[in-house]
Amino acid sequence: MPGPETRNLALLRQKMDVEGLDAVVAVNKKSVIYLSNAPMAWADWAQRRADGPRVHFVVWPRGSEPALVVPELERDVTVEHSWIPRVESYPEYVQTPYERLAEVLNDMGLRGKRIGIERRAVGATYWEEFTAGHRETRFVEAGPLLDSVRAAKTPAEIELARRACAQLDRAFLTVFSSARPGVTEIDLHAAMHEALLARGCGEILGGLLSGERAMVIHRPASHKPLVPGDIIRTDYVAVFDGRGANLSRVAVVGEPSPQQQAIYKTLREIELAVFDYIQPGVRACDVFKFYLRALETRRLSPDLRLLGHNIGIEVHEEPMIVQADTGVLEAGMVICIEPHILRQYQIQDQLLITPRGVELLSNGFDTSKIFVIG
């Protein structure tokens, strides 16, 4: 089980000092998991609802021990996995989550203090109820602060990401190498799951498509058989020890045509140009604008208004590599870059931002040329 060394707690304390916060309250699922390692899979549907009856919190005070607040149903499994010794619970459907949170804040001596809370993750009704009993307490939005802490990876986190990338690339190689014309998309998808589970993967998302079906993103795999000339488009997330790899690899069934080779070469040129552009201090939106220019010079347009994203506890975290995100890329972040062109061709790699540029973490699959199946 990953330990606190996979969390940037020193940065959290530093930012709390700078902001003059007496405590931070994590509400968003990804922040709660980050600060506590509490498992929330069974209550995930409720945790994603801002007005849900089963909400988890971490109360992280400055200078004393944190507390984890969970519904009674989740208490036993939380105690098994969390590294926070103090676990408080509440009877869901009897007491609201925020009634119990208010009690815990009072018990920790935080009434009347300056507290950062992920306000954007709190439902409107709950917020009115919660603050009505804490009018003398000064609550400020802590979402961006916690985003920035999660984005700055520790050496232990980086190693987990590197391992996840290596395992996912090995699965791609195993499945692509054994595939032949005539097998179906579902056959390949099942083989990916089997290969990843055999390597200790804890969670698998995504899938693959072939031929004309690959032109519509997020379709489920089907019983369509692979035929010569099909392009195989993939987008998988594989989570190992709480850290995921999000990679996309391109394959073709049978020898690629000159046109297919040329398109793939263009895709790779664009991806490598983006790699070279990324430096610490560049804004996410500027990386996306560079990508648009790289497409325009080749008389192409973007398939998606997304080039990539930060990756951490969740697959898509801030900053997002999109036109409207002004977040700054900094050394220590792990990001995914995923250019798409002509609707069928998508490549995705995972990078560590270093003081000098980027380091490719997903280096276990030769992407210099399109992979040939069969």
CATH number at residue 140: 3.40.350.10
Residues 68 and 195 in one domain: no
Average pLDDT over residues 194-208: 97
- Measured CA to CA, the distance from residue 350 to residue 80 in angstroms comes to 32
Residues 37 and 168 in one domain: no
Q: pLDDT tens for residues 26-48?
A: 999 999 999 999 876 544 555 55
Residues 225 and 82 in one domain: no
- How many domains are there within the chain? 2
Output DSSP code: residue 221.
P
Q: pLDDT tens for residues 170-183?
A: 999 999 999 999 99
Average pLDDT over residues 223-229: 98
Residues 84 and 66 in one domain: yes
In this prediction, residue 42 carries a pLDDT of 46
Exposure string (b/e) for 300-337, b if CB count within 10 Å is 16 or more? bebbeebbbbbbbbbbebbbbbbbebebebebbbbbbb
Provide, rounded to the nearest whole percent, the portion of the chain with pLDDT above 90.
90
Residues 250 and 115 in one domain: no
Average pLDDT over residues 95-113: 96
Q: Which of 130, 151, 172 is the last residue of a domain?
A: 151
User: Is the pLDDT reported for residue 61 higher than 50?
Assistant: yes
Indicate the pTM of the whole model: 0.94
Residues 172 and 108 in one domain: no
Q: Which of 100, 128, 151 is the last residue of a domain?
A: 151
User: pLDDT tier at 282 (50, 70, 90 boundaries)?
Assistant: very high
Range of the domain at 361: 155-373
